[in-house]
Amino acid sequence: MAKNFEGISSMSRQELCELIDYYKNNDPTELFAAADAVRQQYYGKKVYFRGLIEFSNYCKNGCYYCGIRNGNKNAVRYRLSPQEILECCEKGHKLGFRTFVLQSGEDLYYTDDIMCKIITEIKSRFPDSAVTLSIGEKSKETYERYFEAGADRYLLRHETALDDHYAKLHPKNLSLENRKQCLFNLKEIGFQVGAGFMVGSPYQTTENLAADLEFLRELQPHMVGIGPFIPHKDTIFAHEKAGSVKLTLIMLALVRLMLPQALIPATTALGTADPLGREKGLKAGANVVMPNLSPVEHRSDYALYDNKICTGEEAAECLACLSRRIASAGYEPDFSRGDHCSIKFEYCFSRTGTN
């Protein structure tokens, strides 16, 4: 079945638009089956578990769609100390996690020195684990320091690949050109790199989505995060319509077919938008989930959008629940590092100086 989609890697933007529109208006079951077959070709039925640590919701930026934007006076702000971050990792390691995803707003409190000490300490205490950072746009020199300290992966969603749309979602001091440059810098340094975008964000067109696919084809990231836009009550987009789950799944499947070896999460936003969103994401080609290891008292404060699921099966405390759901959907929970299948773990392990 996947042979029907082999041409996707060379399609023009217009052809991609036509493909997206076709599945928007028709049953995408065959598309999802093809994407699932491709992911199984490279990763089998494994679903990699990552431990998510949301360590600060302070942010210097004012992205119009985001609930932790600097202008939101209603946000209850918090920061975790380096020791608290390490305690989250300790808990996660005991639960079986071998990847920790450190995510925050762009918080200037965490200087390069502080972040590098945190990274180095995590790698020292848990040398069998990968460290993923998701902390925004930085200079190439800063990214190099993170890498030298031992960070393995970096997530930085591009959000949208066309300048005019980017300008409608972000204040003037933020540029798509810089964001894209950050992604290319990260790849050049040697990180496993993650990009990604929202589906159904305000002003988004089919051409925007096709351009997102084109950009991913150019970047060739190791990871791609895709989730539906979900409005937040304290932003200018509070009354905008949420993104379509069906269209999100279509885009997820198309990314899987375009980047067969990518690590693609069934995102929290997908699980928030649809109670079965996670399972649907896996059946459309996703192969990663990220349960929350953050301190329970802060989880609801890291609210990028409204009604985010952060307890129950989304929480690390209920790993058995989430594992059962994944197994019942026909997949295999996997707690290993779960590197991109082109990466040799021995290299990742040895470059930190721990082996």
Residues making up the annotated binding site for S-adenosyl-L-methionine are: 159, 179
Q: Which of 1, 20, 2 is nearest to 207 (CA)?
A: 20
> CA-to-CA distance for 185 and 191, rounded, in angstroms?
9
Q: How far is residue 39's CA from residue 332's CA, in Å, rounded to a whole number? A: 13
Angle at 78 between CA 72 and CA 82, to 5 degrees: 140
- Assess contact for 150 and 123: CB atoms under 8 A: yes
Q: What angle do CA 37, 152, 224 make, to 5 degrees?
A: 35
Which residues are annotated as part of the binding site for [4Fe-4S] cluster? 59, 63, 66
CA angle in degrees (0–180, nearest 5) for 255-260-261: 115
Taking CA atoms, 6 is separated from 44, 196, 284, 306, in Å, by 20, 22, 16, 38
CB contact burial 299-332 (16+ within 10 A = b; e otherwise): bebbbbbeebbbeebbbbbebeebbebbeebebe
Residues contributing to the annotated binding site for (3R)-3-methyl-D-ornithine: 134
Integer Cα distance of 232 and 239 in angstroms: 8
What whole-number distance in Å separates Cα of residue 18 and Cα of residue 13?
Answer: 9
Decide: 93 and 49 in contact? Cβ < 8 Å. no
344 burial type by CB count under 10 A (0-12 exposed, 13-18 middle, 19+ buried): exposed
**Which residues line the annotated binding site?**
59, 63, 66, 134, 159, 179
Residues 6+ apart with CB under 8 A from 121: 82, 86
Element (H, E) at 19: helix 13-25
